[in-house]
Structure 1
Amino acid sequence: MPFLSVLIPVYNGERYLGSAIESALNQPCKDLEIIVANDGSTDNSLAIARQYADKDDRIRVVSHENVGPGQTRNEVIPDLNGKWTIFLDCDDQILPNFYTEQLKSFLEYCIEKEIETIVPCRLCCTPDLTKANMEYVPFDEVFESASDASWRIDYEFATLLYFTPMLKREHIVFSTTRPAEMESIFRHKAAFCSKHCLFTNKIWFAMRRENPHQTTKSKSWGTERVDRIRFQEYGKLIEWHAARGTTGYVIEEARRKRDAAKIAIKNSGVKPTLRQRIEEYRGIKRWRAERKKTAKPIADYILDEPSQAHAISELVELIERA
């Protein structure tokens, strides 16, 4: 059985899919499976996936009519064979030299210590994946189940490492709404239900593309629609927590997020003033300029074997102290 599962859902992703698959295939440790889940693509995505599968038996391809990324992932989760799972978008990549034999040994150690979700920092890259900015998690620490830290996973951090049996044991699934913005709830539930959860800025694997061709929710869906889905899904989450007997900050934060969505729906008809639009534009422009100025070449972020060994050693010390 493979040790690591890499699940890549794809819908009309022919431009980047091959690179995403190769980023997993080219990892130093070969003990993995890659599942490409075609979500009713109308371009050449399915053909590309099958071409790779014909050449490497570690690749499986599943295909169905278009149901959205949430349901696409949900249909594959029961059939994942790896002990650990990575969800990789088709336009992103795994950083070279991440999955090594020593990283595999560390993940085996995490299983022994009942660490079931790992929340690492990640790289937010230019569209051509030549430069990146590091996006850090808020702390380096180990938390027990039901921790408040389960709400400290920013929605941008879409790339975590999950202990596959935990996902199946706790029946953690993605929202099937469209847009499937509520991936944040999936991550929250996983961290909440894990026996232990590790946050770390010592290791990272995700190269997230700042993709100008990627359709954003704000363009493809009205903001009011997004807010209504947030209101709906956070309402379901409150019920989920109530059924588990959750008290304190965790459920109160779910209520706060639901109520914020309700307020946003109420205010959805209020259009921003010209001054507000100008300030927003200027803010985005400043942010992009700062990102460009501080970006570093991807090569600067690739950990060689000694550097990765040092990072893992520090993580082991952290876990032993927890």
Structure 2
Amino acid sequence: MSTYVIRRIIYMLLTLLGASMLIFFLYALTPGDYVDNNMNMTEQRKAELREIYGLNKPLVERYTAWLGNVLEGDFGYSLQHQKPIMTLFNHYIWNSFLLAAVSTFLTWFIAVVAGVLCAYKSQSIFDKSVTIFIFAAMSIPSFFIGLFFIKLFAVDAGILPPGGMITTGSNAEGWDYVLEVAEHMVLPVLIVTLLGTGSLTRYFRSHMLEAMKQDYVRTARAKGLKERVVLYRHALRNAMLPAITLIGFELPTLFGGSIVIEKIFNWPGIGQLYMQSFTMRDYPLLMGFTMLLAILTVIGTFISDLLYRLADPRVRL
């Protein structure tokens, strides 16, 4: 086990090194930058800013300096916001994490329950109804259903706020602040959960159908165990094994934000910040955020591999 962990850590470091090179040179070689994007500056002022920010140095020198700062936990300096990138991350990323964490929990909970019931009642009216609903939800673009729900629940009914994280001008504190944020989260969480549940439900349904055909399920039923115990303790436990692979990809999702949803509901998350940085060509922030996602992806994959080994002793690393 220790040999496997050491070997995987070495692979992770090599992967991140390759990712850092790809990320840096991709943005560095893109025509134009934040200085060029500002049309109100004179050429002399632009040259001064390039000198200050080090944009006129050779690419290899800039990459070495940037990588060294990343290894020290410094992802650079945002040219647009004039703040350290880690300061911006700490301000925005937890808003995205809050939204994504609640949505992910609800998505997995609903998908597991619905997938098990659809597999148990395969080809029934319930299974077909859930399937139709799932494909209908998956086929609707997120921006359309988001705007439709805003009109339905915020504009027409007036029972939910149309967007934002808190009410404009609010000075709520303590539990009042928590309740206000929770109220503003209802619509975006509902949209993200609705769009994410479909594919995951079909995933669990197909693996549950396969698991229920195995000999150990027939043996458990022959022993006289309750159907609930057979489904959730025997069949679902084995059907969950392939889903462990998906857990590794949830980690960057939790911190990566949702650009479309955050934009529609004006949620102050990292996804909207990322989109604004594209418009302003704030490449240091874009590089820092993309590198952070690469680190989270590698760590998430490593965790899923370890969880798979713990969940299934038959696996030999």
Give the TM interval when normalised to the shorter protein.
under 0.3
Structure of greater Rg:
2
Give 1 or 2: higher strand fraction.
1
Higher RCO structure, 1 or 2 (CA under 8 Å, sep 6+):
2
Give 1 or 2: higher helix fraction.
2
TM-score in terms of structure 1 length: 0.22
